[in-house]
């Protein structure tokens, strides 16, 4: 049990921020590899689960993947409470994570209701100093597992004191019981946002029989493309987890293999890729009923693709993340619902409704905004963010922009940020190796916006090696890992392998490549993902269909087999999921034993060795 010594300061080997999928797995893995580690997990909530904690589960909430694909690889999920369509409900996930924390004896290590407000480097040596609820915590190593959906993004419309209720979707679970209470007279809801949380809220409100005015801003990415629930009779996301699908999503991680070269650099391979995506898009449009009179009032949800070439009219090129509709009655519920979809934004609310930017008024009883998420690294100063390679958020400005920008001389005698050259070389490489991406839509709103953003805020890109380790840690003391920032559909599996890689890295098992190689890896990933996934790829480390080759990289570093199915054909065509990585921590422990790593490493430096 971590304890306070030296007054109010708490000394730890490892501080973990976040008790969600990633933080819990990071703790249990570290304790398996180094059982004497003194660690604490800090979480602002009062229960485990993060986005899936008890207070955030509302009726109808289900994961976007089918049963068997949303559990840690070595810990199956019990079937009880499973809804129809072979899904995983929010309640099941919540119970599963609570049980995982219990079974792994993690609850005694979790400090609930603990907000980490500040983190800086420890000036008295290596490691970190955290401010947790105003208390000082010193930790030799730091794992950030804050997730991406705790802090909210407030859209900035005016809410006067006498306004109708206005709630971010993060508070939906707490608010839902009041919706059905007739005494509250909550009939007409205005919903803002065009991505997955908004779709889920629209479905929930229509299921409750509410009238909904759904507002999607005009100048953004537009409504999210929604994959059909099933493809060739199987859950679409499951179908998307095979190596075949990874190859149909041109990626810098697969392009050097013979199969990748076929798909990405031959005319036939590119034709097959486009045909597959055309088929998926047709299925998606069919499921939504777009173009039919029955779906006339949901037609506005047709994703925007601002390119007139027929070959580019595909969900492949959408400028927003992709969602999967798991509830079979999703579209029929919306079509039957009392729902109006408008492209506009909210200007202000008042005591009887909402005024839109266009000047129109909507009489309403309640506003729900699903406008995304805020700064999950607000505990780092802008300067430290820049040093670590974490993008600035909103209007953050550096006290001295030049202070931490490394400079180097480029041919011609001018000085430049070294990333400028790296990014340019990476862009050229992507254009050469992935011609399909190079020939992407030209008049894409999001891409134009992204390009402008890139020029304005170059330093804001993610600069994390393997999406986890800051470059600044390279010659340092292996003291920080940032987990869970990669966007995929397979959170629990990625959590397990990232946690294992991070534990091995923090313990010193894994050395990073040379600095130029680390920079190249980072620049190439960024160049690829912002071409592949347009503005979401520009904003986040995005790898929706590419997580298997991403995990291959981590598995290789750990000395573990990347081929997780028996036989070449099975490995190419069968879905990848948690079952493929069953026992992976034990496999790695065997590697450590064989290579005698344990005796070389020992464990994380003991708390008492940290000087006062």
Ligand X SMILES: NC(=O)c1ccc[n+]([C@@H]2O[C@H](COP(=O)([O-])OP(=O)(O)OC[C@H]3O[C@@H](n4cnc5c(N)ncnc54)[C@H](OP(=O)(O)O)[C@@H]3O)[C@@H](O)[C@H]2O)c1
Ligand Y SMILES: Cc1cc2nc3c(=O)[nH]c(=O)nc-3n(C[C@H](O)[C@H](O)[C@H](O)COP(=O)(O)OP(=O)(O)OC[C@H]3O[C@@H](n4cnc5c(N)ncnc54)[C@H](O)[C@@H]3O)c2cc1C
Which residues would be at the binding site for ligand X (CB under 6 A)? 63-64, 149, 153, 155, 192-198, 200, 217, 220-221, 320-321, 345, 370-373, 487
Q: How far is the CB of 307 from ligand X (least distance, A)?
A: 18
Q: Residue 145 binds what, of ligand Y, ligand X, none (CB under 5 to 8 Å, by partner type)?
A: ligand Y
Q: What are the structure tokens assigned to 5, written together?
A: 């010594």
The label of the residue with tokens 């004191």 reads: 161
DSSP characters for 32-98?
HHSTT--EEEE-SSSSS-GGGSGGG--TT-EEEEETTSSS-TTSPPP-TT--TTTEEEHHHHHHHHH
Q: Residue 192 binds what, of ligand X, ligand Y, none (CB under 5 to 8 Å, by partner type)?
A: ligand X
Q: How far is the CB of 129 from ligand Y (least distance, A)?
A: 15
Closer residue to ligand Y in complex, CB, 136/357: 136
Closer residue to ligand X in complex, CB, 221/281: 221
Q: Residue 195 binds what, of ligand Y, ligand X, none (CB under 5 to 8 Å, by partner type)?
A: ligand X
Q: How far is the CB of 362 from ligand X (least distance, A)?
A: 15
Q: How far is the CB of 249 from ligand Y (least distance, A)?
A: 16
Q: What are the structure tokens assigned to 406, written together?
A: 């490394």
> In degrees rounded to 5, what are phi and psi of residue 526?
-60, -45
Distance CA 612, CA 3 (A): 15
Q: Residue 247 binds what, of ligand Y, ligand X, none (CB under 5 to 8 Å, by partner type)?
A: none
Closer residue to ligand X in complex, CB, 301/604: 301
DSSP characters for 439-500?
T--SS-HHHHHHHHHHHHTGGGS--EETTTEEGGGTTTTS-EEE-S-SB-S-HHHHHHHHHH
Closer residue to ligand Y in complex, CB, 92/318: 92
Distance CA 541, CA 452 (A): 19
Q: How far is the CB of 490 from ligand X (least distance, A)?
A: 12
Q: How far is the CB of 221 from ligand X (least distance, A)?
A: 3
Q: How far is the CB of 84 from ligand X (least distance, A)?
A: 16
Distance CA 46, CA 149 (A): 16
Query: For residue 396, with 0-12 CB atoms within 10 Å meaning exposed, 13-18 middle and 19 or more buried, which class applies?
Result: middle
Q: Residue 100 binds what, of ligand Y, ligand X, none (CB under 5 to 8 Å, by partner type)?
A: none
Q: How far is the CB of 23 from ligand Y (least distance, A)?
A: 6
Distance CA 69, CA 92 (A): 13
Q: What angle do CA 568, 544, 421 make, to 5 degrees?
A: 100
Q: What are the structure tokens assigned to 228, written together?
A: 């059909």
Closer residue to ligand Y in complex, CB, 16/33: 16
Closer residue to ligand X in complex, CB, 155/440: 155
Closer residue to ligand X in complex, CB, 353/541: 541
Q: How far is the CB of 345 from ligand X (least distance, A)?
A: 5
Q: Residue 320 binds what, of ligand Y, ligand X, none (CB under 5 to 8 Å, by partner type)?
A: ligand X
Element (H, E) at 383: helix 382-388
Residue with smallest beta-carbon separation from ligand X: 220
Site for ligand Y, rule CB under 6 A:
17-23, 42-45, 50-52, 61, 63-65, 114-116, 145-150, 376, 379, 484, 489-491
Closer residue to ligand X in complex, CB, 55/476: 55
Closer residue to ligand Y in complex, CB, 18/260: 18
Q: Give me the long-range contacts of 171-175 (CB less than 8 A, separation at least 24).
A: 172/56, 172/58, 172/201, 172/204, 172/368, 173/55, 173/56, 173/57, 173/58, 173/61, 174/55
Q: What are the structure tokens assigned to 100, written together?
A: 């995982």
Q: Residue 372 binds what, of ligand X, ligand Y, none (CB under 5 to 8 Å, by partner type)?
A: ligand X
Q: How far is the CB of 81 from ligand Y (least distance, A)?
A: 16
Q: Residue 321 binds what, of ligand Y, ligand X, none (CB under 5 to 8 Å, by partner type)?
A: ligand X
Closer residue to ligand Y in complex, CB, 49/441: 49
Q: Residue 487 binds what, of ligand X, ligand Y, none (CB under 5 to 8 Å, by partner type)?
A: ligand X
Please answer whether residues 322 and 544 qualify as being in contact, where contact means their C-beta atoms are separated by less than 8 angstroms.
yes
Please answer whether residues 338 and 189 qualify as being in contact, where contact means their C-beta atoms are separated by less than 8 angstroms.
no
Which residues, in sequence order, are CB contacts of 248 under 8 Å at separation 6+? 263, 272, 273, 276, 277, 545
Q: Residue 194 binds what, of ligand Y, ligand X, none (CB under 5 to 8 Å, by partner type)?
A: ligand X
């Amino acid at each position: 049990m971590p304890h306070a010594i030296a007054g109010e300061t708490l000394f730890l080997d490892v501080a973990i921020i976040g008790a969600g999928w990633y933080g819990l797995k990071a703790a249990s893995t570290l304790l398996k590899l180094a059982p004497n580690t003194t660690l604490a997990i800090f979480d602002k909530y009062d229960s485990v689960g993060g986005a899936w904690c008890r207070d955030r589960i509302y009726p109808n909430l289900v994961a976007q993947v089918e049963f068997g694909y949303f559990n840690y690889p070595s810990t199956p999920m019990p079937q009880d409470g499973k809804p129809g369509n072979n899904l995983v409900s929010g309640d099941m996930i919540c119970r599963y994570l609570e049980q995982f924390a219990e079974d792994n004896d993690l609850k005694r290590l979790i400090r609930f209701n603990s907000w980490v407000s500040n983190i800086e480097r420890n000036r008295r040596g290596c490691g970190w100093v955290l401010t947790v609820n105003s208390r000082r915590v010193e930790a030799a190593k730091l794992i950030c597992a804050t997730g991406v959906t705790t802090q909210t993004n407030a859209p900035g419309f005016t809410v006067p004191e006498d306004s109708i209720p206005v709630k971010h979707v993060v508070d939906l679970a707490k608010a839902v019981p009041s919706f059905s209470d007739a005494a509250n007279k909550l009939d007409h809801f205005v919903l803002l946002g065009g991505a997955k949380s908004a779709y889920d809220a629209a479905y929930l409100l229509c299921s409750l029989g509410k009238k909904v005015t759904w507002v999607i801003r005009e100048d953004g990415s537009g409504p999210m493309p929604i994959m059909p629930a099933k493809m060739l009779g199987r859950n679409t996301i499951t179908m998307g987890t095979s190596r075949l699908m990874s190859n149909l999503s041109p990626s810098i991680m697969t392009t050097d293999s013979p199969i990748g070269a076929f798909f990405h650099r031959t005319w036939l391979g590119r034709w097959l890729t486009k045909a597959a995506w055309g088929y998926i898009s047709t299925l998606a449009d069919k499921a939504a009923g777009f173009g039919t009179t029955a779906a006339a009032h949901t037609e506005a949800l047709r994703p925007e693709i601002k390119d007139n070439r027929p070959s580019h009219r595909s969900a492949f090129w959408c400028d927003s993340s992709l969602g999967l509709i798991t509830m079979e009655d999703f579209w029929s519920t919306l079509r039957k619902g009392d729902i109006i979809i408008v492209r506009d934004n909210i200007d202000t609310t008042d005591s009887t409704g909402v005024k839109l930017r266009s000047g129109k008024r909507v009489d309403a009883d309640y506003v729900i905004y699903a406008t995304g998420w805020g700064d999950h690294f607000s505990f780092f100063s802008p300067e430290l963010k820049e040093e670590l390679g974490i993008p600035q958020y909103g209007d953050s400005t550096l006290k001295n922009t030049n202070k931490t920008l490394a400079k180097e001389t480029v041919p011609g005698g001018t000085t430049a940020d070294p990333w400028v050259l790296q990014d340019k070389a990476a862009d050229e490489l992507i254009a050469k190796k992935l011609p399909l991406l190079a020939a992407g839509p030209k008049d894409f709103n999001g891409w134009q916006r992204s390009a402008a953003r890139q020029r304005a805020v170059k330093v804001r890109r993610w600069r994390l090696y393997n999406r986890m380790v800051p470059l600044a840690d390279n010659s340092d003391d292996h003291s920080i890992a940032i987990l869970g920032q990669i966007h995929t559909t397979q959170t629990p599996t990625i959590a397990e392998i990232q946690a294992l890689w991070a534990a091995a890295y923090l313990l010193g098992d894994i050395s990073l490549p040379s600095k130029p190689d680390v920079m190249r890896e980072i620049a190439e990933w960024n160049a690829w993902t912002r071409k592949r996934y347009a503005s979401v790829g520009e904003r986040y480390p995005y790898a929706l269909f590419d997580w298997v080759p991403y995990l291959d990289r981590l598995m290789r570093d750990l000395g573990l087999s990347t081929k997780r199915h028996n036989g070449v054909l099975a490995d190419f065509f069968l879905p990848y999921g948690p079952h493929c990585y069953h026992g992976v921590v034990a496999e790695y422990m065997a590697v450590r034993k064989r290579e005698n790593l344990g005796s070389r490493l020992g464990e994380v430096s003991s708390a008492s060795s940290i000087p006062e």
